[in-house]
Structure formats: C-alpha cells, structure tokens
Amino acid sequence: METIIEISGVHYTFVTENGETRLRLDSQTTASEDTAIETLIVPEIWVITRSNGVPLFALEPVLCDKPFRIMTANQLYAEKIQWFEPLADFYRNCLWVNPTSSVKGSAAHGAYKHHSWQSIINFAIVDRPAFMFHNGMSGDWKKQETGGDEYLLCLVEGAPYWTDALGQIPYAVDTFRLYWQQTNDKDWSIRKTGVTGLEWANGNWKGEDHGTQNVYDNFMIIRGALWASENFHREITAHTYGGLRGLGEASPTVKTTFRFASSDSLKTPVSSLSLEKYKTWKP
C-alpha cells in the first residue's frame, strides 16, 4: 500500500508492507556522462501509524527533535506528545491527516472511534453524580461505548485527538455546573473545576494525585468548563414546603439547564488570554 504525503508542496511516497512503513525515495535516470550527484531529500516530519503500519497523520518536529521518524500512535502516546493544544507541553504541529480516515472500510478508518462535537455534547450534558466520573464508571467517557469506547484515538469531524483528552470534557461540564449552582460566579466555577481536576487527576477514589501541570488534560478541562459557562442557564426558583416543615416556608432551588449557544469553545484550543485567566497550576 502506498500513501502520498504532501509537505511544503513536495509529495513523498510512503510504502506499507508486512506491517511496516518506509519512505520511498526515487532517483532519476540520467545520461552516462552526467556526473552530478543527485541529492535525495528526507522530509522533516514524524509519520504516525497504526500498529499495522498504516499512516494516520504527520507531525512537525521541533528544533531539538530527531527530524524524521516513523512511529506508531502507541509510541507517540507513551512520549506524551499532543498536537491539539499549542500552549500545552509536548505540542507538535499537525501537518497532515490521512484523508481516508473518515472513509468507512479504509485502512485508516478503524484506528479511530468516530465522533462529532454534537455526540460529545450529548454525553456531556447528562447530569451525573460526581462519583460517576471515576475510572470505569458511567461518566468515564473514554471507556463508554457512546464515548471513547477504549480507543486510543478519536476522530472528531476529521481531526484526531487522544481519547483521554476528550474524556475531560464531560467531567468539566458536570463539575462546572455543580460549582456554578453553589455560587453565581462563572470565573470562580471554571477555576474551581480546574482545581478539582488537578486533585483527582489519577481518577481513583482517594483523590491524592495533584496532577501534572501544563499538560493537555488541564487545557481540555478549561475548554469544557468554558463551553459549559456559555451553554447553560442558571435558574433560581422558590420551592414551598408544607406539613411538618411549616406552612408557607420557602427555600430557593438552583439548577442549571442546557441552552445551546455554540460549540466553538470545544473546537478551539485554549487561548493565551483564557489560560492566564483560568490556569490553576503554577508555571
């Protein structure tokens, strides 16, 4: 199988055979008297493949990186590399995504759990008890069939993401709603959602892990909480109790209801302005 990857206007051919992918460099036939040495250029890219060698996407290495690599997505994940949050650590710019990734039946399609932003929203807006977001529970998006379904990668409207990154969104939406119901302060509620994410970063029942710092998980929490602040409405109603609690006694009830405005905050990387405003970890 051959895959053509265009980098800076130059087309490179990658050949996948027996589960391995290699770059094919073609030289031109010249006349016998032509003694000029032909230079074959190796592109400065990292090609990320499935375990069976099928190319999925390509990243741009930074100055201190090895300039050319072909590696599996599992190897990339082990190195904590990401390509969707430019201000987070371990970022590498995405140069190319296999155009057949969205084509059912293609060699690249099966590498991903396929989603739209709306399907992620549909999961995130369900109101769940906080403990349901622990590992393996019904709010653990990355493991649910309607969520990440235990895939390493998800393709969201043509763009690849680590599944565990997207899994931060339902947690952030639900947790923001909880805090916003306690206090009518959106900014405080977004930051408190981030603090809670750091405290429970390992997802266990004890919440002892204070989490790593400038990594994509925390950025995706900001995305989710910011989106929730724009797409939920806070309502205060008075509930009157009778009987033993006293006739006419009223108690305020606060709830948040979903009112779709936009999905832009989910689709868009965290800006420097939002990071400065909502970052809950030290440099």
- Tell me: do 84 and 212 sit in the same domain: no
CA distance readout (Å), 111 to 81, 98, 117, 243: 18, 11, 19, 60
Boundary residue ending a domain (101, 134, 149): 101
* Residue 138 falls inside a structural domain: yes
pLDDT in tens, 26-56: 655 444 555 444 456 888 999 999 999 999 9
pLDDT in tens, 220-238: 999 999 999 999 999 887 6
Q: What is the pLDDT of residue 131?
A: 79
Q: Which residue has the higher pLDDT, 239 or 188?
A: 188
- Tell me: do 89 and 221 sit in the same domain: no
* Residue 31 falls inside a structural domain: no
pLDDT in tens, 103-156: 999 999 999 999 999 999 999 999 888 878 888 788 889 999 999 999 999 999
- Tell me: do 70 and 134 sit in the same domain: no
* Residue 106 falls inside a structural domain: no
What angle is formed at CA 42 by the lines to CA 37 and CA 47, rounded to 5 degrees?
165
Amino acid at 75: Q
The residue among 161, 267, 159, 278 whose CA lies nearest residue 225 is 278
The domain containing residue 17 runs over which residues? 1-25+40-101
pTM: 0.87
pLDDT in tens, 157-172: 999 999 999 999 999 9
Boundary residue ending a domain (78, 101, 124): 101
The three-class DSSP label of residue 174 is: helix
- Tell me: do 81 and 144 sit in the same domain: no
Question: From CA 98, how far away is CA 105, in angstroms rounded?
Answer: 14
Average pLDDT, integer, range 205-222: 74
- CB distance 225 to 219 below 8 Å: no
Q: Which residue has the higher pLDDT, 283 or 147?
A: 147
Q: What is the pLDDT of residue 266?
A: 96
- Tell me: do 128 and 266 sit in the same domain: yes
Query: What tokens were used for 118?
Result: 């709306």
Question: From CA 88, how far away is CA 278, in angstroms rounded?
Answer: 14
* Residue 87 falls inside a structural domain: yes
Average pLDDT, integer, range 276-283: 88
Q: What is the pLDDT of residue 158?
A: 96
Residues whose CB is less than 8 angstroms from the CB of residue 174 and which lie 6 or more positions away in sequence, other chains included: 124, 127, 128, 130, 133, 139
Largest CA distance in the chain: 107
- DSSP-assigned letter for residue 236: E
* Residue 35 falls inside a structural domain: no
- Tell me: do 65 and 130 sit in the same domain: no
Q: What is the pLDDT of residue 250?
A: 54
C-alpha count within 13 angstroms, C-beta hemisphere, residue 94:
16
- Tell me: do 134 and 61 sit in the same domain: no
- Tell me: do 192 and 254 sit in the same domain: yes
- CB distance 23 to 14 below 8 Å: yes
* Residue 83 falls inside a structural domain: yes
Is pLDDT above 50 for 207?
no
- Tell me: do 3 and 138 sit in the same domain: no
Q: 89 exposed, middle or buried (CB, 10 Å; 0-12, 13-18, 19+)?
A: middle
Q: What is the pLDDT of residue 236?
A: 82
* Residue 148 falls inside a structural domain: yes
Average pLDDT, integer, range 170-192: 94
Q: What is the pLDDT of residue 37?
A: 46
- Tell me: do 60 and 144 sit in the same domain: no
> What's the number of domains the chain is made of?
2
- Tell me: do 69 and 123 sit in the same domain: no
φ and ψ at residue 261, rounded to 5 degrees: -120, -45
Q: What is the pLDDT of residue 8?
A: 87
Question: From CA 76, how far away is CA 57, in angstroms rounded?
Answer: 11
- Tell me: do 137 and 267 sit in the same domain: yes
pLDDT in tens, 55-113: 999 999 999 999 999 999 999 999 999 999 999 999 999 999 999 999 999 999 999 99
* Residue 33 falls inside a structural domain: no
Average pLDDT, integer, range 179-189: 94
What's the 3-state SS for 241-278?
A: ECHHHCCCEEEEEEEEEECCCCCHHHHCCCCHHHHHHH
